[in-house]
Amino acid sequence: MGILKEKLSGYDAPQKAMQAGIYPYFREIESDQDTVVTINGKKVLMFGSNSYLGLTNHPKVKEAAKAAIDKYGTGCAGSRFLNGTLDIHTQLEDRLAKLVNKDAALCYSTGFQVNLGVVSILAGRHDFLLLDELDHASIIEGSRLSFSKVLKFAHNDMEALEAKLKVCHGDHIKLIAVDGIFSMEGDIIKLPELVALAEKYKASVMVDDAHSLGVLGKNGSGTASHFGLTDKVDLIMGTFSKSFASLGGFIAADKEVINFIKHNSRSLIFSASMTPSSAAAVLATIEIMESEPERIQHLWDMTHYALDGFKSAGFDTGKSETPIIPLFIRDDIKALQLTQNLLAEGVFVNPVVSPAVPKEDCLIRYSLMATHTKDQVEMSIDKITKASKALGIL
């Protein structure tokens, strides 16, 4: 046995969880990503999806993806930098820039690659990156590739952010990179206060709208739109794997910024471009999103209904105010056991346990789609409440 295999073979945490019957990952779904999915031949209510607008199986989206395959084939066989730019990529970028009201946009193959390739290059050796401590892992990884000084501040704490800004030299780049909606907690960044601090200390702002697009703002155009601060936010990032029912991501900003990113971002230049079917699907979802505002309204109606229901049942939902609802369990084993028990009862949710979060903050992540019905939400709350009482969580 080689040294590498010898060292890695000692990692057996997943196997121990499997033996205990509480391993909750890589569950195979045998159907489309709808409010009800099929797992092991059984119908299960899906409350663990990021498809906030419920468009992954929309006929118009599927038709657009199929038509793109017929025209362009299944892939581009190269990076955007060389042979992998199609006219549909450029069309999508123009459409995205218009959606978030920025000069220009640039598409990547995944959302993770956006943050990896953008955060890593905007600030240099004598500059500063300021990150919320609960920013997405892709922002954190991007910061690790940067030569800049990285400063983290307490979650959504503007006093803590200002304390960090005070130690940054005034004549260097200061980039504040934050999530719009935080993916586990479900709360929204305090953007008005953050922007005020950015102006005071001459800092730039980047908002990761992965979980905000399709949810917040005019026609689902994101966090900056929600607060009326689009002109105060320098960069807006988004992913296509959530509300946009596809795969990929983008960054939008002033054309000068996009020009620099386009010619310096390694995760763009050295990755194959997003598939034509993925691009076509996003274009179709934007059209639906803008023509059916009632879809977003229903998502919010179900969000308020679910939040009220969980709070009435006695759950701690933290500071969530969005379709992402954390149910704090504060015990890793109970969180994993609850997840498995609920699956057996026909409800799919996601556990978030240490080391992803501190043990005292472990939770069940319950997320809503615009296609969920009131009856489905009621049924899920009832089953989650009964299962939680059986485990002594409530």
| 176 in Cβ contact with 195 (< 8 Å) | no
At residue 247's C-alpha, the angle toward residues 242 and 250, to 5°, is 85
- For the question of residue 172 being annotated catalytic, the response is no
| Calpha distance 53→234 (Å, rounded) | 26
Residue 143, Cα to own-chain centre: how many angstroms?
18
Is 311 assigned a catalytic role? no
**Alpha carbon distance 302, 15 (integer Å):** 37
Determine the residue type at 114: V
**What is d(CA 283, CA 289) in angstroms, rounded to the nearest whole number?**
10
- Rounded to an integer, what distance in angstroms lies between the CA atom of residue 220 and that of residue 119? 24
Q: Among 58, 149, 226, 242, which one carries the catalytic annotation?
A: 242
- Count the residues in the chain: 394
211 is catalytic: yes
Identify the active-site residue in 120, 183, 212, 225: 183
Which of 164, 211, 226, 334 is catalytic? The answer is: 211
State both tokens at 98.
């218009």
Q: Is 304 exposed, middle or buried (0-12, 13-18, 19+ CB in 10 A)?
A: exposed
Residues that are catalytic? 183, 211, 242
